[in-house]
Amino acid sequence: VRKGERTRGRIVERAAGVFNCNGYAGASVSAIMAATGLQKGGIYRHFGSKEQLAGEAYAWAAARMRERFAAALAERRHVGDRLHAIVDVFEGVVTDPPVEGGCPVLSAAAESDYGVSPVREQVRETMRELRELVRVVVAAGVGRGELRPETEPEDVATVVVAAAEGGILLSQLYEDSAYVRQVAAHLHDYIDARLVKRDAMGGTDDRNGNA
């Protein structure tokens, strides 16, 4: 069963873009047929319903987001670098979207706000992960003395995620990355203000660690 698995993966991938671009209610199976080049039968062989496909498509999109954060944190050790890297990932979502249609978490979360959404629980979990990601980094930073002791990890997590998603929302609405960049600049300052300056003289601005 190898060809089937590849087809299934392709469906999930393409459907993720369709759902992300049109919303669950606005995405028709016909549109997914067109995006995949398959017919109804070819899709419903792999998924029992539109709802199930939406769930897997969202999961795929969320995984793409996770990969970006994982890659960004992979070689960063200092808390400041790691936090700045996280903000950079959010900023990058606008100019180089992991899924067609922009940030899948934002799209799905907004549609989940009103009424019931088949992926609501998944979105909550993803958003929880996002906040947890920041919270853990901040908590570790406080523990290691890299961040000021009064810094509240929960607060920082909420502020970073909320502001970043808000910035993405503005940029996607106007198709102009300037907004998310303004927000990112603010968040970078916000982070720096909470860093414990170890060496006031030998400090570096190179947050990307490039020599």
Q: Which of 41, 115, 149, 202 binds DNA (CB under 7 A)?
A: 41
- Under the binding rule (CB under 7 A), the answer on residue 149 touching DNA is no
CB of 114 to DNA, least distance (A): 15
Report yes or no: 98 and 104 within 8 Å, Cβ to Cβ: yes
Lookup: tokens for 148: 């000021």
> Closest CB to DNA among 55 and 80?
55
- Under the binding rule (CB under 7 A), the answer on residue 3 touching DNA is yes
- Under the binding rule (CB under 8 A), the answer on residue 161 touching a copy of itself is yes
Distance CA 142, CA 42 (A): 52
CB of 1 to DNA, least distance (A): 4
Report yes or no: 40 and 29 within 8 Å, Cβ to Cβ: yes
- Under the binding rule (CB under 7 A), the answer on residue 28 touching DNA is yes
Residue 114: contacted member of a copy of itself, DNA, none (CB under 5 to 8 Å, by partner type): a copy of itself
Q: Which of 45, 66, 78, 120 binds DNA (CB under 7 A)?
A: 45
Nearest to 81 by CA among 167, 149, 142, 146: 146
- Under the binding rule (CB under 7 A), the answer on residue 49 touching DNA is yes
Distance CA 207, CA 25 (A): 41
Block residue for tokens 């982070």: 191
Q: What is the DSSP string of 156-188?
A: HHHHHHHHHHHHHHHHHHHT-THHHHHHHHHHH
Considering only residues 126-155, where is the footprint of a copy of itself by CB under 8 A? 127, 154-155
* Interface residues toward DNA, by CB under 7 A: 1-5, 7-8, 27-31, 37-42, 44-46, 48-51
